[in-house]
Amino acid sequence: MSEFSNAFPETFIAAKPEVGLVLGSGLGGFTDLLSNPVLLPFSEVPGLPVSGVEGHAGRFVLGTLGGTRLLAAQGRVHLYEGWSAADVSAGIRAMAALGIRTVVLTNAAGIVNGDFTPGNWMQISDHLNLTGTSPLTGGPRFVDQTEVYDLRLRAHFSTVAQQLGIPLPSGIYAGLPGPEYETPAEIRMLRVLGADAVGMSTVCEATQARALGMKVAGFSCLTNFGAGMTGDLLDHADVLAMGRQAAGHLATILAAAFPLP
């Protein structure tokens, strides 16, 4: 029995979604691609935390894409809102309770690797959890994280992107707690640590999903250069706008990628 065993309406349980999708800032429009969408606000799922951040609508959309039954979460809650690591990964446990075995996580991220281009997507190959917390505090302990982001899925998405002619570099995502953007010194530090992109989500969800034996894929929308990499200041509105502008590319990749291996 999970905390979410009785949390979903019968339509959602009966649909037996196979793949879960978490849509980050500015990326919620992806659900327009789903056939026969059924909506469910997070507030109607007992036990799920509800966000107040602009760009995070806070609802599930059930639907099909390429013959696969998907459950998309439009919006997520963040550590920087004051939620715990267990809270920010509750949506993943809810998906697991519905029988979902594969999750695709998306986020908006700042560029740390100067070879990357704003407006492109990066496939996450591994992460640095620099949040100072974990959804697994209290157990289970010592979960293996050698391959958080599933190698077969990664190869599949890279092949699909290549066939479509859409750039999809792979890289390391550094997850920080936020809520402030980084300083230029922090961006330089992250590069030394091996990060290619930086954001304020995803790492707790990925860790939770792996601990539940789910397969994980992750994509970062590279919305801006990290602080100090150009003369520009960072602005949340620009980040959201770039997310919306670039969303179509990942949507095209995902639309061609189902069914997943």
Q: Which residues are catalytic?
A: 25, 56, 78, 80-81, 108, 200-201, 224, 236
Q: How far is the CB of 108 from ligand HPA (least distance, A)?
A: 4
Whose Cβ is closer to ligand HPA: residue 113's or residue 223's?
A: 223
- Cβ contacts of 102 within 8 Å, gap of 6 or more: 18, 19, 20, 150, 153, 214, 215, 216, 217, 260
| Entry field: residues in the chain | 261
Positions in 171-190 near ligand HPA (CB under 6 A)? 181-182
Q: Determine, following the binding rule CB under 6 A, whether residue 226 of this chain makes contact with ligand HPA.
A: yes
The reply to whether 109 sits near ligand HPA by the rule CB under 6 A is: yes
Q: Which residues of 120-158 are buried (b: 16+ CB within 10 A; e: fewer)?
A: bbbbbbbbbbbbeebbbeeeeeeeeeeebbbeebbeebb
Buried b (16+ CB within 10 A) or exposed e, 228-242: ebeeeebeeeebbeb
Least separation in angstroms between CB 179 and ligand HPA: 9
**Shortest distance (Å) from residue 133 CB to ligand HPA:** 17
Least distance between ligand HPA and beta carbon 198 (Å): 5
Q: Which is nearer to ligand HPA, 40 or 108 (CB)?
A: 108
Q: What distance in Å separates the CA atoms of residue 125 and residue 210, rounded to the nearest whole number?
A: 14
Query: For residues 21 and 239, which CB has a smaller minimum distance to ligand HPA in the complex?
Result: 239
The interface with ligand HPA within residues 196-225 (CB under 6 A) comprises: 198-200, 223-224
- Asked if 7 and 96 count as a contact pair (C-beta separation under 8 A), the reply is no
Which stretch in 28-36, 59-67, 130-138, 194-202 sits in contact with ligand HPA by CB under 6 A?
194-202
- The footprint of ligand HPA (CB under 6 A) covers 108-110, 181-182, 198-200, 223-224, 226, 234, 239
